Structure 1
Amino acid sequence: MKNKYILAFLFVMGLSTSCKKFLDTEPTDFYTPSNYYETAAQLQVGLNGIYSNMMYGPMYGQVLNFNFTSATDEMLPNISVNGDNRGLYYSYDAGHNNVAGVWRWPYIGINNANVLLDNINKPTMNEKERGYIKGQALFLRAFNYFILTTHFGGVPIVLHSPGIADTNIPAASQVEVYEQIVADLKEVAILLKGRTASNLGYNDQVTITAVHAMLARVYLHWAGFPTKDVSKYADVIVYADSVINSGLHDLNPDYKQVFINLCQDKYDVKENILEWGSAGAAAGVANKGGNDIGNFVGINSSLYFVNNVPDPSSYLSAGWVSITKKLFDSYEVVPTSTLVNKASLDTRRDWNCADYIYAINNGTSTRYKLNRNNPWQMPCGKFRREYCPQEIRINGSYNINWPVIRYSDVLLMKAEAENQVNGPTTAAYDAINLVRKRGYGTMYGNIVKDITVENGGSGYSTANPPEVTISGGGGSGATGIAIVSGGKVTGVKLTSRGSLTTSGPYFSSAPTVTIAAPTTGVTATATATITNGTEYLLTPGLSKADFQLAVRDERMRELCFEAYRRTDLVRWGNFVGDMREFANYASANGISVSSTGNPNGYQGISGITSRHLLLPKPTYELNLNKALVQNPGY
């Protein structure tokens, strides 16, 4: 099937080079719109090509979730700023290759969609199926325009395959682009009515709830900077409520399982409303050879060989991006915890903020976890390649689907819009608190909250800490590792706080903690406490302004590394000020210390100005399209 996808892609690419003159003779030995799209199957191949475009490297295979999203207050690159040839920092200009790609590839997708839509009525076929194909093509066109307008502002709107003379097309205003996106999506909502991920069994094709969720997202940006049409917050509520009230989606009770499922090519059609499919995707969606998800924004690891054979537990990951202390400290902790990094009440922290990398000891040819206790140097742990199937771990690229729209995002959009329209109502609190409840791991019961060492014992080894067993209390799945210093157990770090599934079992009372005895010495003792099920609740009685700040922090905690933060900061209207404030915070909190901080990351954000609200329009496009005007500051 891959050859068909490539054929469709090259076919449309050939159409886009419209500067050549063509003979009037009807071709018979290759495909053109006049002799293609004659059957339903050919329409489907064309649609597959549009889907395929979304996960190529210049799109969500790498660039859109890494290159221009990696320098915010939630994560920062850790490589040399002088080596910034990828757009990781803010030193790019209009000639930057990846800037050009962010413009070019969405327009390739748009052109693919336009060609298909121009020929949608050619085949004789089932009208419902024709509508499904048309609806998906319109959605993909709208989504590509959303990429363009959130990165470049006003852009040319092209709704049909351009002719030879169509070279100088002025940019429409951002409002006009939003109007076109919404018009397409509203038509899609009619065409895809009744098409659900639960019926399909997979979520990497567009369904009706994906359409409504995307409408909510578009209206949320329309309501914010720079268009600032606050009346659109009411529309966000309408479409977020449509998704919520559909009954088709819910939160996975275990936050980390959402991303493990992505690594293992398992569809979670309740949590993930829409994914972009990579290799191993559902039938009908084009397979890609691989992507960089979990590589640059991932946990560092080199491939480990045993007797010249790659060890199946190892994998490749560059880890060019680290978290920020601001993100790490945003997760609530147990105040009484005695650990260096206090135990967090929020299960999301220790998944997103990995406190280790994989290293190789060349002297002994062993692979081990190297602790990273300072947040400035912790890798981004959300997409963990160690959970990918063993047979692909030795490759430099992986086949992880990208989560385009998750249900938690819909809930947070609902909370934000509800607050903007009606203030911090019960509905606003309910939406954000549901996200927090899952984040705290207590959707269906109570879990282990913390473990306190009562007696550290004696005779223990730091190199070989004792085994810790957590049992009883009606629950299961809690695990921990002992922290040893000076021959004593000084703490127990929870590696799992319980079995986070719908049925649990969860803890009804504190479990028993058993620390293995040392070879010689005194056995350490510890006790556990469990949650009471209310820890997740957001502070009641917040003002409208304070609730908005709470939503902003919650979006960072929940959606970090998923390519939201930069555009969120822009739409909230103070991107430059927020990033300067963060730079001051980072400077005061140790980022510049080379041994424990991230000086490269700090250097990369020190020169942000108003021009960085948008990317520059590419030089090559300005040379071709004389009607375009460059964005301010470039």
Structure 2
Amino acid sequence: MNVMKLKYILLICFVISICSCKKALETEPTDFYTPANYFNTQEQLQQALNGVYGPMMSPRLYGQILTGYYETADELLSNRAADGDSRGFRYTLTPSNVNVHAIWLACYQGINNANILLDNINKPTMNETNRNRIKGQTLFLRAYYYWLLTTHFQNVVISLKPSSITDIDIPASNPKQVYAQIETDLKEAEGLLQGYTSASLGYNDVVTVTAVQAMLARTYLYMAGYPVNDATKYQNAVDYCAKVINSGQHALNPDYKQVFINLMQDKYDVKENILEWGFATAPAGTVTKGANDIGNFFGIPSTIVANDPSSYSAVSWVYVTRNLFDAYEVNASSTSTPKTSFDLRRDWNCSNYIYAISSGARVKNPVTNPWLMPSGKFRREYAPAEARNLGIYGINWPVIRYSDILLMYAEAANELVGSSTVPTGGSLTAYDAINMVRKRGYGILNGNVVKTISVTNGGTGYTTVPTVTITGGGGAGATATATISAGRVTGINITSPGIIATGSYYTAAPTVTITGGNGTGAIATATITTGTEANLITGLSKENFQLAIRDERLREFNAESLRKNDVTRWGNFYQDMITFKIYCEANGASASANGLTGARNVAPRNIWLPIPDYELNLNKSLVQNAGW
């Protein structure tokens, strides 16, 4: 939730009226704002800055559309029968689609608001440090709007001054030109925001210096890929990732799921999340900027039960793919269906249960088919009680996380010097960086957890499932369940490897006790991790390490509106999606028939959204993207 404690205003489009009446020309308006009677104080500049942030959190961008509608690739599918063309999950869009146009309009509204503010930034007498902070944030936001435009529409018009009625038939700039402007704005913003950090502020939903540096790293990595293909930018990407790493401002949250629980609970994590977009329904000290469907469209389905205060409402239109589910390492010795995973991210991102109503009560129903698993990253059940049943609830959106810095660093470093050498300007090898992310995913970034539990004696006489208790070993929080067959305990499945926090890690194998179930004699032993289980296999070629990066980004960032951009910049979007379609048809995606339709609809043109028809009619110099 955004912390700027000022009333949000929408900047109007300033219109100059020409009139032959001298009195009218000389009269200053008093009932609405114009540049002439506004931007006179620091407070008014800050209010104008809020107006630049505003479109980013509107339903036209991250309030709804950009949190999934057009961002799906091989990790998510829609399960909704009534999707039609409006939401884009099924690649059935047209240039007249209202949501496609909404993205375009919102970005240019944000850009024009930024241009108006920058045009008046020096007007008031005020503290220069504060002026620089407002200007730096504004430049970042303008750059980010252009980043959204070029990653969605490819060629777009660059406008650096407030819009005018004479601004017609302006040719679009190509991505190389757009990225050059993005780079210019971000570099200037970096200088203006020196010393302005989320650590000192205590929140991260305003632009700070490390947010600028992180976005520069992302920009350079995108410039190195398709369609610009400037490989010299890999060094710039390493340099700016290194700036964030060496700043000491950021670190991985050791517990992956807690990153998203914190978001649902409106708790800032300024270490992991370098930048968030703030939304409404926050506690004191916020600016109302809109809300979103996170945890509703994306989330675990549930309905409200009158006698269950923990119940909530979510429609869950988005399911994961087996491609995502199978990307995580499984425990081959597991006896559960499906087998458990050593990678704790899997069962958080791919929910293995849904909520249903049974005899008037809400119950968890297990889901074993990956094609029918809801995207579980954003779970509304963790939201505050007063907000979890709202149709829209304003959780913050994670824009850039520290794990992205590490994986961008690994990708760029590998391209420059391979995976085992520290690149110029860096302090880590590509292996070092990717393994930090993987260790966090396995829950062993800072210590060890329970790894396996093996039944050494199945016992006899078990008629019901016995209770499994895990004690000792210096740790806490590990839990497990038993399976039985023919009166014997046949397996122990770990449901939690332990609490992922300092002071709760295991230093020795704990004791496993099996009680109840009307049987006797069952014995099981546990092992704990050694801290190396998550390490990526060594000796990979540059090409194979790049493939490993692609898989790691899938595991880490699914459902965070990054995957389609990643697949696009890697340069083979259409063929990759054809490969995914073949995978779907061969691996049971018919269970999600609505989602399979989307995989089958992908065409070469879907690498970009179409330029909206309305804009083509207004600006005759625009050229429609190929295939549209």
Cα distance in 1 between the residues matched to 2:567 and 2:159 = 29
1:607 is aligned to 601
Q: Deviations over 1:172-209 (max 9, x none)?
A: 11111100000000000100011111101111111111
Aligned with 1:587 (options 548, 568, 585): 585
1:598 is aligned to 592
**Residue correspondence of structure 1 range 231-270 to structure 2 within 5 A:** 231-270=232-271
Cα distance in 2 between the residues matched to 1:86 and 1:167 = 30
Aligned with 2:439 (options 426, 437, 440): 437
Question: 8 Å contact 1:49–1:286 — kept in the other structure?
Answer: no
**Residue correspondence of structure 1 range 107-506 to structure 2 within 5 A:** 107-279=108-280, 286-306=287-307, 311-361=308-358, 364-426=359-421, 427-457=429-459, 465-483=465-483, 489-501=489-501, 503-506=502-505
Give the counterpart letter for 2:56 in structure 1. Answer: M
Matched, 1:527 2:535: no
Displacement of 1:85: 2.5
Cα distance in 2 between the residues matched to 1:486 and 1:214 = 59
Give the counterpart letter for 1:118 in structure 2. Answer: D
Displacement of 1:487: 6.0
Give the counterpart letter for 2:578 in structure 1. Answer: R
Structure 1: stretches of 5+ with no match in the other structure:
none
Displacement of 1:481: 3.2
1:390 counterpart SS class: coil
Cα distance in 1 between the residues matched to 2:118 and 2:330 = 53
Cα distance in 2 between the residues matched to 1:289 and 1:490 = 52
Give the counterpart letter for 1:557 in structure 2. Answer: R
Cα distance in 2 between the residues matched to 1:338 and 1:21 = 79
Displacement of 1:425: 2.4
CA gap 1:441/1:341 in 2 versus in 1, 3 angstroms:
same
Question: 8 Å contact 1:202–1:282 — kept in the other structure?
Answer: no
Cα distance in 1 between the residues matched to 2:617 and 2:306 = 50
Matched, 1:576 2:574: yes
Displacement of 1:342: 1.7
Displacement of 1:91: 0.4
1:616 is aligned to 610
CA gap 1:82/1:412 in 2 versus in 1, 3 angstroms:
closer
Displacement of 1:326: 1.2
Cα distance in 2 between the residues matched to 1:488 and 1:45 = 69
Cα distance in 1 between the residues matched to 2:354 and 2:18 = 56
Matched, 1:507 2:509: no
Cα distance in 2 between the residues matched to 1:486 and 1:288 = 60
CA gap 1:3/1:201 in 2 versus in 1, 3 angstroms:
closer
Cα distance in 2 between the residues matched to 1:400 and 1:567 = 23
Structure 2: stretches of 5+ with no match in the other structure:
422-428
2:131 counterpart SS class: helix
Cα distance in 2 between the residues matched to 1:108 and 1:539 = 47
Give the counterpart letter for 1:313 in structure 2. Answer: S
Matched, 1:90 2:88: no
1:625 is aligned to 619
CA gap 1:297/1:488 in 2 versus in 1, 3 angstroms:
farther
Cα distance in 1 between the residues matched to 2:450 and 2:95 = 52
Cα distance in 1 between the residues matched to 2:257 and 2:243 = 26
CA gap 1:30/1:376 in 2 versus in 1, 3 angstroms:
same
TM-score by length of structure 2 reads 0.94
2:62 counterpart SS class: helix
1:58 is aligned to 60
Question: 8 Å contact 1:473–1:511 — kept in the other structure?
Answer: yes
Question: 8 Å contact 1:81–1:604 — kept in the other structure?
Answer: no
Give the counterpart letter for 1:447 in structure 2. Answer: V
Give the counterpart letter for 2:317 in structure 1. Answer: W
Question: 8 Å contact 1:204–1:282 — kept in the other structure?
Answer: no
Cα distance in 1 between the residues matched to 2:169 and 2:514 = 73
Cα distance in 2 between the residues matched to 1:619 and 1:396 = 31
1:479 counterpart SS class: strand
Cα distance in 2 between the residues matched to 1:624 and 1:283 = 43
2:326 counterpart SS class: helix
Displacement of 1:19: 11
Shifted more, 84-93 versus 131-140: the winner is 84-93
CA gap 1:81/1:366 in 2 versus in 1, 3 angstroms:
closer
Cα distance in 2 between the residues matched to 1:261 and 1:30 = 41
Q: Deviations over 1:478-516 (max 9, x none)?
A: 122334566654433323211212x23311221112233
2:426 is aligned to none
Question: 8 Å contact 1:452–1:527 — kept in the other structure?
Answer: yes
2:76 is aligned to 75
CA gap 1:91/1:522 in 2 versus in 1, 3 angstroms:
same
TM-score by length of structure 1 reads 0.93
Displacement of 1:231: 1.0
Question: 8 Å contact 1:192–1:208 — kept in the other structure?
Answer: yes
